[in-house]
Structure 1
Amino acid sequence: MKMADVCQVFKNAGMTDVVSILASGNIVFSSDKKAGELKGILEKAMSEHFSYEAYLFIKSQEEIEQFWNGNPFEKNEELHSYTFVGNNGVEKVLMQEFENAVKAAHEDAKIVNNIFYWQVPKGNTLDSTFGKILGKKSMKDQFTSRNINTFEKILKKIS
């Protein structure tokens, strides 16, 4: 789906200052409503407009800062670092999956402040045993993942 269309759905649902970050479904917007209420409003609007069952994770600026600042991994040009945004407790499920997975050299995972972080060699994201969880249909409404650099881009846009 085109991010311009997604932004229009958000605007039509009453959100203001709507802008997309990258082409991966990251939408920054303003609203005076609480996250739980926004989740219901926006999932319904997205589902109706795009004719699919939408699952959204609504995070405040403070929460985005926590994702960025909590990253336990040092920057390494040969590794990707990901943060998983999800339902309460999903970090424990993800860690269990990671512990049971066959790991590539330098692949690691940590939980910091109830946030799951994963680091994997570039080129191995979808090939790694753990990476296959990203496509599990049974988990699609439990979490989404983003490269840690996405949070930096979001914070720059918000500032």
Structure 2
Amino acid sequence: MKYCAFLRGVNVKGTNMKMADVCQVFKEAGMKDVSSILASGNIVFSSDKKVSDLKVILEKSMSEYFSYEAFLFIKSLAEIEAFWKGNPFEKNDDFHSYTFVGNGGVETVLMKEFELASKTENEKGEIINDIFYWQVPKGNTLDSSFGKILGKKSMKDQFTSRNINTFEKILKKMNS
């Protein structure tokens, strides 16, 4: 079965790694057809193992090789299609749209945080099919009140975020 692993905290705040090295770690852990999408830690691969087993194997392999506490979230092709198709926001060059990949139920935690945050003009958050989507004016991602929760240490094992366009790139790779 084809999967994509979304790594948390890759190539930010001093955790730097080459995607070729990450792919090699996945191969050595027994994954097949391994390739990366962008430098933000999106690894497409094939395996016959269960997702729960893959998560344990890959987090351990990544942690040992790169000497950091690895967190990753593994999604199937069907799940990635749901992320892409569920986006409630129209494409607008003045905004970034993000979606959050994470543990079950994290979307409600994110929505609660979003509702408590002060917002910039036209900043929006929405849950569609248990997936949290966020739209923010370009240039405000890290400065927004909600954007600041993305780096909270207490949330590091709960989710990671990606620009919605990343899902389109991942789908193209998975379907090729």
TM category (shorter chain) comes to over 0.9
Q: Counterpart in 2 of 1:113?
A: 129
Cα distance in 1, alignment partners of residues 169 and 122 from structure 2: 25
Cα shift at 1:56: 0.7
Normalised TM-score (structure 1): 0.99
Q: 1:67 aligns with which of 83, 86, 90?
A: 83
Cα shift at 1:158: 1.0
Cα distance in 1, alignment partners of residues 139 and 94 from structure 2: 9
Cα distance in 2, alignment partners of residues 126 and 17 from structure 1: 34
Cα deviations across residues 78-122 of structure 1 (Å, max 9, x unaligned)?
A: 000000001111100100000000000010000000000000000
Specify the SS of the correspondent of 1:49.
Answer: helix
Whichever structure has more helix as a proportion of its residues is 1
Alignment map for 1:10-49 (pairs within 5 Å): 10-49=26-65
Q: Counterpart in 1 of 2:140?
A: 124
Q: Counterpart in 1 of 2:102?
A: 86
Specify the SS of the correspondent of 1:42.
Answer: helix
Q: Counterpart in 2 of 1:3?
A: 19
Q: Counterpart amino acid of 1:94?
A: L
Q: Counterpart amino acid of 2:155?
A: M
Which structure carries more relative contact order (alpha carbon 8 Å, separation 6+)?
Answer: 2
Cα distance in 2, alignment partners of residues 31 and 88 from structure 1: 22
Q: Which stretches of structure 1, 4 residues or more, deviate above 3 A after TM superposition?
A: none
Superposition CA RMSD, Å:
0.4
Where in structure 2 are there 5+ consecutive unaligned residues? 1-16
Cα distance in 1, alignment partners of residues 170 and 140 from structure 2: 25
Q: Counterpart in 2 of 1:157?
A: 173
Specify the SS of the correspondent of 1:106.
Answer: coil
Q: Counterpart in 1 of 2:71?
A: 55
Specify the SS of the correspondent of 1:92.
Answer: helix
Percent identity between the aligned chains?
79
Aligned length: 159
Normalised TM-score (structure 2): 0.90
